[in-house]
Amino acid sequence: MTQSKPSRKKRKERMEAEQHFDFRCDPGVPCFTRCCQDVTIVLSPYDVVRLKSTLGISSEEFLDQYTIIISKEKRLIPIVLLKMNEKDKKCPFVTQAGCSVYEDRPWPCRMYPLDMDDEGLFFLITDPSRCQGLSRSEEWRVGDWLADQGVIPYDEMNALFGSITGPLQTHELDIDNPDIAKMLFMALYNIDKFRDFVFKSSFLDRFDVEESRIEKIKRSDLELLKFGFDWIKFGLFGQKLFSVKQKAAK
């Protein structure tokens, strides 16, 4: 669940989707929720959409209350981390009964005790001495575990996010306008503010957007996030995903 690099030993113990491992976690395990303490969880845009929705707050409120945003020089998209409690370093959503946002928990929490390397192979990020759930004799096929934990839709959205972050990592863009970075962050993470931008500015007067898609992004944060991905690809990479209205062009 942390983002640290696996050891060389763990790299040798990589698994494919057809391979098996033993794991079971429930309140009866002595170390229950210990893995939810003092960990580094990087949040994707889809994680933020799911979490802010289940909490019933705006994306801006969620970002202010529950995240740490780390910006780096020459990096257009900052890293968004889930903020642990200051007192005990526990996840703010963990209780004695378990995770209070379980149905919408982030990708790393769904993967645990697995992680995935750059080659698409899987490995255990802990061992039975720290996670006693690995000593339980409940066998899982890796692929079945991912499906059971609801990882697949997260992977699909992370792939769309990667279509933006990947080119930014491989190509240095000469962009020194801070407003561009703010626009990217809004479209990716502050989805409610991005909706206001689309519907309360001159955006729809300037760009052709199908009526059916306009209706979708009005109602669905997920569709709006996908719309934001396309908007970034259009504005940043020049992909022809939008067209300027003839009147606006004049």
User: What one-character-per-residue DSSP string does the chain give?
Assistant: ---PPPPHHHHHT-B-TT-EEE----TTSTTTTGGGBS---BPPHHHHHHHHHHHT--HHHHHHHHEEEE--TT-SS-EEEEPPPTTT-B-TTEETTEETTGGG--HHHHHTTEEE-TTS-EEESS-TTT-GGGGS--EEEHHHHHHHTTHHHHHHHHHHHHHHHHHHHHS------HHHHHHHHHHHT-HHHHHHHHHHSSHHHHEE--HHHHHHHHH-HHHHHHHHHHHHHHHHH--S--EE-HHHH-
Query: Do 83 and 89 meet the contact criterion of CB atoms below 8 Å apart?
Result: no
In a domain, 111, yes or no: yes
Residue 36 has φ and ψ, to the nearest 5°, of -95, 15
Q: What is the arithmetic mean of pLDDT over 16-27?
A: 95
Instruction: Supply the mean pLDDT for the chain.
Output: 91
pLDDT tens across 206-217, in order? Answer: 999 999 999 999
**pLDDT for res 75:** 81
Note whether 123 and 237 are same-domain residues. no
d(C-alpha 60, C-alpha 123), whole Å: 35
- 119 and 20 inside one domain: yes
Q: Are residues 118 and 88 in the same domain?
A: yes
In a domain, 165, yes or no: no
- Do 82 and 91 form a contact (C-beta atoms < 8 A)? yes
The reply to whether 83 falls in a domain is yes
How confident is the model over 45-80, as pLDDT tens digits? 999 999 999 999 999 999 999 999 998 877 889 999
Q: How many domains does the chain have?
A: 2
Shared-domain flag, residues 148 and 176: no
pLDDT at residue 247 above 50?
Answer: yes
- Residue 13: pLDDT over 90: no
Q: Clarify whether residues 119 and 189 are in a common domain.
A: no
Spatial distance between the Cα atoms of 68 and 81, rounded to a whole number of angstroms = 5
Question: Is 205 in the same domain as 143?
Answer: no
Does 31 fall in a domain? yes
Residue 202 makes CB contacts below 8 A (sequence gap 6+) with: none
**29: domain range?**
8-152
Could you tell me if 112 and 53 lie in one domain?
yes
Same domain for 207 and 89? no
Is pLDDT above 90 for 179? no
250 falls within a domain: no
Query: 204 and 136, same structural domain?
Result: no
Q: Are residues 13 and 137 in the same domain?
A: yes
Same domain, 226 and 141: no
Q: Is residue 198 part of a domain?
A: yes
Please tell me the pTM assigned to this model. Answer: 0.89
Split at pLDDT 50, 70, 90, the class of 9 is very low
> Residue 172: pLDDT band by 50, 70, 90 thresholds?
low
**Does residue 248 belong to any structural domain of this protein?**
no
Domain-located, residue 223: yes
Provide the terminal-to-terminal Cα distance of the chain, rounded to the nearest Å: 52
**CA–CA distance, 207 with 6 (Å, rounded to integer):** 46
CA 136 to chain centre: 29
Q: Does residue 172 or residue 247 have the better pLDDT?
A: 247
Question: Residues 130, 17: one domain?
Answer: yes
Q: Which of 174, 226, 164 is nearest to 195 (CA)?
A: 226
